[in-house]
């Protein structure tokens, strides 16, 4: 079994590019085809297209990620009347990608394999573009356990369906276990941030990442169900006792891949940080519905809708100075403040965001 320690050592032998890969082969390739993005280093100028990226937000639905980039453009003052945000991945419908200023918004589909493919190609894209000081954020809905619908969960650790804090990958027929830990200090600061906002119920807990939506999450309404309501409740009680507060389908591989690639809060390297997830959580027995206010349908959520919000840091330790409020249902984001102690006017933040070099972007690198 390969260990993450061995993998990390290998990582440190690689080049000193700001975004690191855990693969020495890529640097020697004449051409790199990011097949599922329909992008190719031989035909696209990655540094010109993506070199100024500082924030990457990823989520399941293409339309939600497009709505998100529209709002970001508006918030950053980078929009114009009638402006469109073309899909950078035109020519494939595997994923959709949008960009405005320093923000990239990418869809990842549903489930661990789907987001894993996207993350492999996203990390390579950032590497080829010579990006630095990147923050990657996953946004998404989830099913809550023992929580008021609409609550926000700050994930301490992603766990599997057996409640283990690990992600198992089969590589060349061998099982490799990778860590899914998240930054405890960051969790605490996020909790404080939520308390300061005082606009929604927030809990800190573990997030269970399953490989299946129906049987995997104990639902009683799939095409297959060989257990009872009582069995399900016992499982969810055990999950709750293990510190699990919500369930979704992508968190473990997101945490594991960022960690394996050294994308955690390692200040010396200036890499991007896997932030704890913020998931509006319904009760575990609540069926997801297109009409529920926390469903991922932005068309149900006009800007005045009292949708669930989440606050997250856009920076990372030791300079995680920017907080923002995010509507997780429609992907709309409102930048609120920078620094835990000082607040920066939005105009000043916009100017900082527009600057191309990470050295000047204290709040994001």
Binding-site annotation, residues for phosphate = 94, 138-141
Tell me which of 45, 212, 348, 360 binds a copy of itself, using CB under 8 A.
212
Smallest gap from Cβ 291 to a copy of itself, in A, equals 9
For residues 31 and 74, what is the distance between their CA atoms, to the nearest angstrom? 36
CA 27 vs CA 1, 36, 128, 223: distances in Å: 26, 20, 9, 47
Q: Interface with a copy of itself includes 5 (CB under 8 A)?
A: no
Neighbouring C-beta atoms of residue 193, cutoff 10 Å: 21
How many residues in the chain? 365
**CA 343 to chain centroid:** 25
Smallest gap from Cβ 17 to a copy of itself, in A, equals 13
Look at the block and give the residue holding tokens 């006009």: 302
- Which 42-61 positions form the footprint of a copy of itself (CB under 8 A)? 60-61
Question: Which is nearer to a copy of itself, 172 or 341 (by Cβ)?
Answer: 172
Q: Interface with a copy of itself includes 133 (CB under 8 A)?
A: no
Q: Interface with a copy of itself includes 235 (CB under 8 A)?
A: yes
For residues 275 and 262, what is the distance between their CA atoms, to the nearest angstrom? 13
- Which 81-120 positions form the footprint of a copy of itself (CB under 8 A)? 91-94, 109-114, 116-117, 119-120
Q: b vs e for 104-115, b when ≥16 Cβ sit within 10 Å of the residue's Cβ?
A: bbbbbbebbebb
Q: Interface with a copy of itself includes 225 (CB under 8 A)?
A: yes
Question: Which is nearer to a copy of itself, 258 or 361 (by Cβ)?
Answer: 258
- Segment interacting with a copy of itself, rule: CB under 8 A, options 46-54, 231-239, 308-316, 350-358: 231-239
Alpha-carbon torsion (56, 59, 65, 68), positive or negative:
negative
Q: Interface with a copy of itself includes 350 (CB under 8 A)?
A: no
Question: Residue 122's beta-bridge partner residues?
Answer: none
Structure-block tokens of residue 175: 């099982």
Tell me which of 58, 76, 106, 123 binds a copy of itself, using CB under 8 A.
123
Q: Interface with a copy of itself includes 162 (CB under 8 A)?
A: yes
Look at the block and give the residue holding tokens 């970001």: 72
**Helix, strand, or coil here: 33?**
strand
Smallest gap from Cβ 204 to a copy of itself, in A, equals 23
Question: Which is nearer to a copy of itself, 25 or 342 (by Cβ)?
Answer: 25
Smallest gap from Cβ 231 to a copy of itself, in A, equals 6
Q: Interface with a copy of itself includes 227 (CB under 8 A)?
A: yes
Q: Which residues are annotated as a binding site for substrate?
A: 217, 219
Question: Which is nearer to a copy of itself, 209 or 349 (by Cβ)?
Answer: 209
Please say whether the beta carbons of 47 and 125 come within 8 A.
Answer: no
- Segment interacting with a copy of itself, rule: CB under 8 A, options 142-150, 151-159, 221-229, 314-322: 221-229
For residues 40 and 49, what is the distance between their CA atoms, to the nearest angstrom? 12
Neighbouring C-beta atoms of residue 5, cutoff 10 Å: 8
CA 218 vs CA 35, 141, 282, 306: distances in Å: 35, 17, 14, 29
- Which 243-282 positions form the footprint of a copy of itself (CB under 8 A)? 249, 257, 260-261
Smallest gap from Cβ 189 to a copy of itself, in A, equals 28
Please say whether the beta carbons of 98 and 87 come within 8 A.
Answer: yes
Task: Give the side-chain half-sphere CA count within 13 A for 216.
Answer: 14
Smallest gap from Cβ 144 to a copy of itself, in A, equals 16
Tell me which of 15, 185, 192, 289 binds a copy of itself, using CB under 8 A.
289
CA 114 vs CA 1, 68, 135, 168, 213: distances in Å: 24, 20, 21, 15, 14
Q: Interface with a copy of itself includes 15 (CB under 8 A)?
A: no
Question: Which is nearer to a copy of itself, 157 or 323 (by Cβ)?
Answer: 157
- Segment interacting with a copy of itself, rule: CB under 8 A, options 76-84, 135-143, 209-217, 328-336: 209-217
Q: Interface with a copy of itself includes 286 (CB under 8 A)?
A: no
């Amino acid at each position: 079994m390969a260990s993450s320690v061995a993998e990390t050592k290998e990582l440190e032998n690689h080049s000193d590019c700001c975004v690191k890969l855990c693969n020495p082969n890529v640097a020697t390739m004449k051409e790199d085809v990011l097949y599922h993005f329909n992008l190719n280093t031989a035909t696209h100028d990655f540094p010109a297209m993506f070199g100024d990226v500082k924030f990457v937000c990823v989520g399941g639905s293409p339309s939600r990620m497009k709505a998100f980039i529209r709002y970001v453009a508006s918030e950053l003052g980078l929009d114009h009347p009638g402006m469109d945000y073309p899909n950078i991945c035109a020519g494939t419908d595997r994923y959709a990608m949008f960009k405005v200023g320093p923000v990239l918004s990418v869809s990842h589909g549903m489930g661990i394999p789907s987001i894993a493919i996207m993350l492999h190609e996203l990390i390579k894209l950032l590497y080829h573009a010579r990006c630095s000081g990147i923050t990657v954020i996953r946004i998404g809905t989830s099913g809550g356990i023992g929580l008021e619908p609409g609550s926000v969960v700050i994930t301490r650790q992603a766990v599997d369906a057996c409640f283990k804090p690990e992600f198992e990958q089969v590589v060349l027929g061998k099982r490799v276990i990778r860590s899914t830990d998240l930054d405890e200090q960051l969790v605490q600061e996020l909790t404080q941030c939520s308390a300061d906002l005082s606009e929604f119920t927030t809990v800190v807990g573990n997030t269970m990442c399953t490989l299946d939506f129906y049987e995997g999450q104990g639902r009683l309404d799939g095409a297959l169900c060989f257990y009872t309501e009582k069995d399900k409740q016992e499982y969810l009680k055990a999950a709750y006792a293990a510190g699990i507060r919500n369930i979704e389908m992508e968190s473990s591989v997101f945490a594991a891949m960022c960690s394996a690639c050294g994308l955690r809060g390692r200040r010396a390297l200036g890499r991007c940080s896997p932030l704890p997830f913020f998931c509006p959580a319904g009760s575990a027995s609540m069926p997801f519905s297109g009409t529920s206010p926390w469903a991922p349908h932005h068309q149900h959520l006009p800007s005045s809708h009292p949708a669930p919000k989440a606050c997250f840091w856009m920076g990372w330790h030791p300079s995680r100075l920017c907080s923002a409020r995010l509507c997780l249902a429609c992907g709309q984001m409102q930048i609120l403040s920078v620094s835990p102690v000082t607040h920066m006017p939005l105009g000043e933040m916009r100017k900082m965001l527009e600057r191309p070099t990470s050295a000047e972007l204290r709040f994001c690198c």
